Amino acid sequence: MAPVGLEARYRRLLRWFPADHQAVHRDEMLGVLMESAEPGRSRPRLADSVDLMLGAARIRVRPRQALSDRSGWRDALAVYSIAAPVLVLTSTLIGWLVVVVWARLTGQATFYASYTDLAATSLLHRASIGLLIEGQGLVAVLALLGLRRWAAAAAAIPALYFGIAAILQLYTPLSVGIPISVLYIPFTLVAPISETVALLASPGPRLGRQLMRRRDWALVAVGSAAAALLTLNFDAVLQRGGWDVYVVGVTLAGIVAGLLLLVLWLSSAHGKRLALLFAVLGYGLLLSDGFIDRSGSWGADTVNGAAGQVVVLCLVAAVCYRTWRRSRSATGGPGQGQT
């Protein structure tokens, strides 16, 4: 029998596999690994370690059921209908809090003008920001109370308001007077529109709340913090005129948080659906500068816009490809499946 040290190390490596896979295959895999190890070996080969980690990653990213499953999408939309307004509200509040604390501590005017120049701007500006923040607050509260139709109405009003304003101000000579900086705020358009769709197309937030586990709420908290930091970050890039240590640090923190969300979510078909839905919201965040010509800085806008498009297009392509492969496999056509 091989040394105990080797077995303990293999056990640690097998923890990379999803819990349900470990429950079924851990002892069996351990047997295979120990049987194939040379006598006297006390540490796994590097190639075996890498192979185990890659095998675990393959199993984690593989959907256990078809992503096209209709009831699965209804469930994912139900979760989105409650998690998205909470995420948008908390990320907006975190961003606002950071700006206020920054101003108090440093005494400097902060870069996130949209939140801080309320006193100096028009009534319409204040009303628009109020509608955005308090509107999301109202949607979140109504969703948490399980009032689907009221929450949908609360989400639809800002969607129509900002949608019409954006179209008029961006694509016609008309102006309804909403400061363009309000339309810069990430989520201004994408959040209310996507929330309205989710609330109307799913059984609603009551089911979503039942489906949300503690881990999902933790992910919403991480997502909120990441979204707030990235929002401030985009603004900082434009205000500071380029990238510096702060901006790079925040970007890396946002990317790490995003990767964490993906790794945790992509281990199930349900998680993949949620990742796709929240990618739409993330698209709004990444593309917020790209939607609108922000102070004429098309360099940054194009980069942010392109990043958003690449992320969403990759996810959509991956889901479409997997769904196509799974459906071909299920129908048993020639040359089917990814086997």
Percent of residues in the chain assigned helix, strand, coil, to nearest 5: 80, 0, 20
- Kindly state the smallest distance separating residue 329's Cβ from other proteins, in Å: 5
Among the candidate windows 53-61, 95-103, 157-165, 199-207, which touches other proteins by CB under 8 A?
53-61
Stretch that binds other proteins, among 23-31, 147-155, 209-217, 311-319 (CB under 8 A): 23-31
Distance CA 84, CA 78 (A): 10
Q: Binding of other proteins at residue 134 (CB under 8 A)? A: no
Q: Is 206 in the site for other proteins (CB under 8 A)?
A: no
Q: Which residues 6+ apart lie within 8 Å of 199 measured at CB?
A: 81, 143, 148, 149, 151, 152, 155, 205
Establish if 23 lies at the interface with other proteins (CB under 8 A).
Answer: no
What is the spatial distance between Cα 280 and Cα 194, in angstroms, rounded to a whole number? 8
Among 4, 19, 46, 47, the residue binding other proteins under the rule CB under 8 A is: 47
Cα angle vertex 309, ends 308, 310, to 5°? Answer: 95
Contact partners, residue 164, CB within 8 Å, separation at least 6: 176
Binding span for other proteins by CB under 8 A among 43-51, 109-117, 127-135, 216-224: 43-51
- 53 near other proteins (CB under 8 A): yes
Report how far residue 20's alpha carbon sits from residue 39's, in angstroms, rounded to the nearest whole number. Answer: 31
Alpha carbon of residue 325 to chain centroid: 25
Task: Residue 75: count other Cβ atoms within 10 Å of its Cβ.
Answer: 20
CA 141 to chain centre: 21
Q: Does 27 bind other proteins (CB under 8 A)?
A: yes
Rounded to 5 degrees, φ, ψ at 241 are 80, 20
3-state secondary structure of 69: coil
State which of positions 299-338 bind other proteins (CB under 8 A): 329, 332, 334-335, 337-338
| Nearest distance from C-beta of residue 55 to other proteins, angstroms | 3
Q: What are the phi and psi torsion angles at 266 (to 5°)?
A: -75, 5
Residue carrying structure tokens 């194939």: 36
Q: Which of 9, 62, 74, 206 binds other proteins (CB under 8 A)?
A: 62
Please measure the distance between the N-terminal and C-terminal CA atoms of the chain and give it in whole angstroms.
Answer: 34
Question: Does residue 43 interact with other proteins by CB under 8 A?
Answer: no
Considering only residues 36, 122, 175, 302, which one is a binding residue for other proteins as defined by CB under 8 A? Answer: 36
Among 5, 12, 15, 51, binds other proteins (CB under 8 A): 51
Cβ 70 to other proteins shortest distance, Å: 20
Residues from 230 through 269 that contact other proteins (CB under 8 A): none
d(CA 176, CA 127): 13
By rule CB under 8 A, what string of x and - marks binding of each residue 63-102 to other proteins? -x--------------------------------------
In the block, which residue shows the tokens 């097998």?
A: 14
Which of 4, 19, 28, 104 forms a contact with other proteins (CB under 8 A)?
A: 28
Mark the segment that binds other proteins (CB under 8 A) among 27-35, 185-193, 194-202, 312-320: 27-35
Outline where DSSP puts E strands in 232-297. none
- Interaction of residue 38 with other proteins, rule CB under 8 A: no
Q: With binding defined as CB under 8 A, does residue 56 bind other proteins?
A: yes
By CB under 8 A, the count of residues binding other proteins is: 32
Question: Does 35 sit near other proteins (CB under 8 A)?
Answer: yes
Distances (CA, A) of 74 to 78, 86, 124, 274: 6, 19, 37, 11
Instruction: Please report, as ranges, the residues that interact with other proteins according to CB under 8 A.
Output: 1, 21, 25, 27-36, 47-48, 51-56, 58-59, 62, 64, 329, 332, 334-335, 337-339
